[in-house]
Structure formats: C-alpha cells, structure tokens
Amino acid sequence: MHAKNFVCFHCRKRYPLEPMLFECPECHGSLDIEYDYEKIKQLIFRQEFLRNETINHWKYWMFYPINDLSKIVWLKEGGTPLIESVNHPGYYFKFEGMNPTGSFKDRGSTIELTKAKELNVNEVYCASTGNMGASIAAYASRAGINSNIFVPSIAPKSKLAQIQAYGGKLFKVKGTYGDAVNKTKELRKKKNVFLVGDYPFRGEGEKSVGFEVIDQLNWQVPENIVCPIGNGTLIYATFKACSELKKVGLIQKLPRIFGVQAKGCNPVYLAWKKKLKKVPVIKKPKTIIDSIACGNPVDGLQALHAMKQTKGSCIQVSDEEALQAKEKLASEGIYAELGGCVAFAGAKKLGLKGKTVCIATGHGLKEK
C-alpha cells in the first residue's frame, strides 16, 4: 500500500492509518489520505500499468488505501461509459448509472467494504439519502457483512426497496439527511460501531471517476469537469484524482472543476458566492432533487477548495432547470436521475466552452 497517513483537511494534523478514524480527533474535521507519490510514479512508469490495462475501478489500485488486494469486495464497478453529446458539441456525459447498483456510490463502497473486510468487521452503519445506502447494502451483502442503513423521510421508495432487497436493515429517521448522520454518529459514540458513508475511504474510491475520465480521453485533459454537489465528496475526489495524476506525471495540467447545487439546498453555493470561510447549514432543504439534498455537507470545504484551486466556480440550478436537463439527456439516450442531471444543467447555464465532461451520477430508474 502506498498510503501514508490520515491528514485533517481543517487543522492539518496527521494521524497513522491505524487505528481506523472517521473524523479528526482534535477538531472533528474531515480526513484526507496522503500517499507516497514518488513510489507510485516509479511503479507506473516501470511497468506501464495505467496505459495498458482495460478501464475499470481497480485498475488504479495504487492510489487506494488498501493493504490486501486478495480481499477486494467488488461487483465489477467502474468502466462506465463516457458518452459524447450529439446535440451539444464538445460535451461528454460520464454515465454513472451503469454501475452495479445504478450510481457512482459503488466506487466508494467497494473501498469501504474492502477495508471493513480487511479489519474483520462484521457489521457497518451508514446514513444515506438512498443511493449510498443501496450501494453499501449490496457490497456488504457481497462481503458477508451486516449493514444498517439510516435514511431521512425524503428517501424515495425505490431506493428503500433496493436497500432491503440487498439485505440491508433499514431505519427511517424523522427529518433530514443530517438527522440520519447524527443518528449514526451517536451510535458510534455509544457502541463504537463501524461507520461507512462520506468518510475518508469513500472519497478515495470515488477518485476513480476522475481517473477514468482522463483515461477515456486518451490521457488528454478536458477544459472542464462539472459535478453535482451533495456532500461534496465526489467533486473533491475528482479534483484529487486529477491532482494525483499530475503529481505522478501522467498529465501536465488540471481541468477547471465546477460544482452544481440544487437551489433549494445550496450551502456550498452560498459559501462560494459570499466568500465565506465556513459552509452554512441548510436546516430544511426544499428541493425534489433528493440525492443531493445535503444541508450540512461533510466535505463542503473540500468542494470549495477543488473549485478554487482549478479556477472553476459554483452555480445553483432550480428543480425546473434540472427537469429540463433530464429531458435533454433523455433525448440523447441517457436516462439519469435528477441529481445526475444538475451537472449538465449547470454547465449549460454557465455557458461552458471547450471539451466539457458532465458527471451524470445515477440512473433515472432509481427515483420512481
């Protein structure tokens, strides 16, 4: 394993990778993971791993914090299509609905459940608006691990049915996604349960979206990558992936990274617009775009960092604009859920030019 240590994104304090941590013990900030990039660089250029293998999530194993590759819990996630638009020149859609459970969440789940298996964990706890819970339940089932999924009242019935179909134990929490998160954190304090969700190992798995985009473009960097923002984990993971490819010499520049939020749940957008040092909390989200209705984003500051470092920006779109984008994607043969349509809606609203990749994070069948 090339991972070296945890580092708090907020106070920058470093911690060893063992024992497992879910947040900074000092300031309770989000944790990142640092790697030995010189060793990764030597490995890549000595054996030419990345240029010669078929694209799939685990092709990029050297950038993941996994010790024992023989314990991988996987369902052949990744390798999702990068589809060139027929109606909007220069635009591409990374369609994550083609993952095993229908969303990009599988990329994080394979890493989290592999780590749980490495540590001989037999039960995991997750808060989710639906997609992540379904993904965790699927991968936990695959690993022979019990899963407990806490969801807010806005979670769609289709996603709840999916969670239960995989054998996940479902707990409905009155209130928002934040209330569901608090419930799992309370259990962590009382019973020391093993948490999965938007914690450091998930973000490391979601980096493969960024790796694959660059790989599928024949290692050419697009001008723009546009991501939906819920908790902010995906947009930061995409930025980190591109940064890591630059550090090891596989690309020479970074794409501009843009984030898109729902107008009815827009804490990162407000922080961006008002140049705030902290991301405000939206206590009662008012949007039909349930998959990104995260009023207190765990990785909100990381999302801001990703956009600032690449000279991108943040924008909000209304529910109506997301619905219009869904229709436009469908006209190109792509049926994405609303949370996966906001990237395209935001890109068009911003008037982005040049090669632009929009991350369509989930399948439309998941919101019925």
35 shares its domain with 87: no
pLDDT for 44:
85
pLDDT for 49:
62
pLDDT for 50:
72
DSSP conformational letter for 124: E
Helix (H, G, I), strand (E, B) or coil at 40: helix
pTM as predicted: 0.95
329: CATH = 3.40.50.1100
Count of domains for the chain: 3
209 shares its domain with 326: yes
pLDDT for 294:
94
Q: pLDDT, tens digit, for every residue of 89-121?
A: 999 999 999 999 999 999 999 999 999 999 999
State the Cα–Cα distance between residues 201 and 114, nearest whole angstrom: 10
* C-alpha neighbours within 13 Å on the C-beta side of residue 323: 5
37 shares its domain with 131: no
Contacts of 24 (CB under 8 A, 6+ apart): 8, 10, 11, 13, 15, 30, 31
Q: Do residues 137 and 130 make contact, with C-beta atoms less than 8 angstroms apart? A: no
189 shares its domain with 229: no
pLDDT for 47:
62
Q: Is residue 74 part of a domain?
A: no
222 shares its domain with 288: yes
Give per-residue burial for 278-313: e unless 16+ CB within 10 Å, then b. ebeebeebebebbbbbbbbbbbbbbbbbbbeebebb
Q: Is residue 348 part of a domain?
A: yes
296 shares its domain with 308: yes
pLDDT for 45:
80
pLDDT for 187:
94
pLDDT for 228:
98
244 shares its domain with 362: yes
294 shares its domain with 307: yes
Q: Pull the structure tokens for residue 140.
A: 């936990």
122 shares its domain with 134: yes
258 shares its domain with 338: yes
Range of the domain at 130: 105-196
204 shares its domain with 315: yes
pLDDT for 123:
97
pLDDT for 347:
98
Q: Is residue 62 part of a domain?
A: no
Which residues of the chain are modeled with pLDDT < 70? 46-49, 368
Last residue of a domain, one of 37, 52, 67: 52
